[in-house]
Structure 1
């Protein structure tokens, strides 16, 4: 089991400092990720879901070290990358990449597509310009783009094609692990399935491991092997997709699953509507962070923070009901 784990996240916290006053001193913190632990096996897709602002994207960016964790540790392929800096971090970056949510904002509008994709190849390998161009054209074909895309700019492509360019850039160094941060949420519904199927094909061909972040539970179910549910910076449930969708344990997960549209009216279940708003991540509530909106909360939930624990084969939940 241990030999098969590619990414291991242990008690990671990521806080954003809040500056205030004339001297711009730190007066508080936004607790974006709070004591999150999980692992991802080689070749697996772990889905991460939750409301906007729950810490999904921050978790992904922290794992690939675009953000420095406040505490905790990140083990990648047996190596602790939590505190790596400079050349050590740079040498590890070729093994993990990220596909961003907005395919236009993440691409340099001043560079042609060929330059965008070839930049990591030039920086990390000693290939000649001819070899580099051949490799870029090969990658473009793998993501379903024509060879003449090499000499065009990002604004000349549709949203779906731009996201394919972002995926091609992530593939340039043949990484082991890719964080896909809501890769289809900015795309038309008509092209979402094309991009999702492309990601699955690439995973099979290149033996990729994914952390797939999204807020659409139907999309996550299509893509993932296991799914983690986050709320206000905390991991509240983690299970394989079959158990999570057929038997959600945490009251928050139950509310999310009840909101998934079902075409057949005879199979629809009663929608669980949560009351109130998500608390501030600057001043999260004591005890269970979900107790202010939980329909079955009791006194213990207001005072004692539940820990994520396994309640049945591989199904983990952070709730005092179990």
Structure 2
């Protein structure tokens, strides 16, 4: 049997991923049975309200948190239980851009040391080679070369995030997980950082898992989008399908809240009733059913499985059981 071409196989496969935390002597799922794929050189967005588990999923995939169950397959290798030297070697190929550029940089290190640290840790390059690479990276992210000798506190939030992006690029990874990379920035600089990420993705053939709560940002960045609610994925589709015809009632409400730039177009806003249930005590059955206008008896008893109802479009909802 012929092997699939490397380009056609996903770079990342997440299968039935679960991440649980112990609270008051009992275990609670922050990520609950999540499965998806990220194709090579693609950008997959994950969107949802604060507390839905999207950042926890990202950190678990990078093995910054330990998965409770499920599988994480990266570049064809199961890394779910990788440890020590094996995990360290794999980590050269995936990096993270964190949400808070103020907290994710060491204030005691010069920018040159912040960016060169991954290269220094994983390669035997000389001081001159390190400096040359860092200077090149600074240019790539739109910072002056004299930033090398400055400290993080001397930069604005947008510039600090560029430093974080340069650090993530230092080892030329295959996958970057961007966890709310612009939510802590002024609106005036958000678009600059987003456009920079897209340019770098094309230049370096990067694969991105892009985590955000802003649907407009995710739409701008992503090829495919997964929607999370209370720890689980409720819908996955290409961005055109998801925004043109969302299937899950929760996704429909999210999409209806996106502002319409043309004032002549009237848009019906779907207002959700109630609050997001506590992940410590989630509802039985479908987690969204207490807020859903289409809820049926089955919704409060049985959790719907994520299944493909149209080509490339998956949804977890009992409305599509037939």
**TM-score, normalised by the number of residues in structure 1:** 0.96
Contact preservation (8 Å) 1:13, 1:71: yes
- Matches of 1:96 and 1:2, distance apart in 2: 21
Which residue of the partner structure matches residue 112 of structure 2? Answer: 114
Mark the runs of 5 or more structure 2 residues left unpaired by the alignment: none
Partners of 2:264 and 2:30 in 1: how far apart?
A: 40
Secondary structure of the 2:184 match is coil
Could you tell me how far apart the structure 2 residues matched to 1:184 and 1:268 are?
Answer: 29
Within 5 Å, which residues of 2 pair with 1:48-197? 48-197=46-195
After superposition, the C-alpha distances for 1:63-84 in whole angstroms (9 at most, x for unaligned) are 1111110000000000000001
Write the mapping of 1:178-257 to structure 2, written as runs, cut at 5 A.
Answer: 178-257=176-255
Aligned: 1:295 with 2:293: yes
Partner of residue 267, structure 1:
265
Structure 1's unaligned 5+ residue stretches are: 21-26
2:204 and 2:285 mapped to 1: Cα distance? 43
**How much has 1:283 moved relative to structure 2?**
1.5
Counterpart among 13, 36, 40 of residue 8 in structure 1: 13
Partners of 1:228 and 1:29 lie apart in 2 by: 25
Render the CA deviation track for 1:288-309: whole Å, top value 9, x for unaligned: 0100111110101011110000
Instruction: Show the counterpart of 2:279.
Output: 281
Cα offset, 1:252, TM superposition: 0.1
> How many residue pairs are counted as aligned between the two chains?
315
Q: Counterpart of 1:103 in 2: which secondary structure?
A: coil
Q: 1:150 to 1:65 in 2, by over 3 A?
A: same
By how many angstroms is 1:2 displaced?
A: 7.8
The alpha carbon displacement at 1:30 in A equals 3.1
Contact 1:45 1:223 in 2 (8 A): yes
CA RMSD of aligned residues (A): 0.9
Large movers: runs of 4+ above 6 Å: none
Distance in 2, matches of 1:268 and 1:291, equals 28
Tell me, in whole angstroms, the C-alpha distance in 1 between the residues paired with 2:52 and 2:5.
29
Task: Tell me, yes or no, if the aligned pair for 1:28 and 1:282 is still in contact at 8 Å.
Answer: no
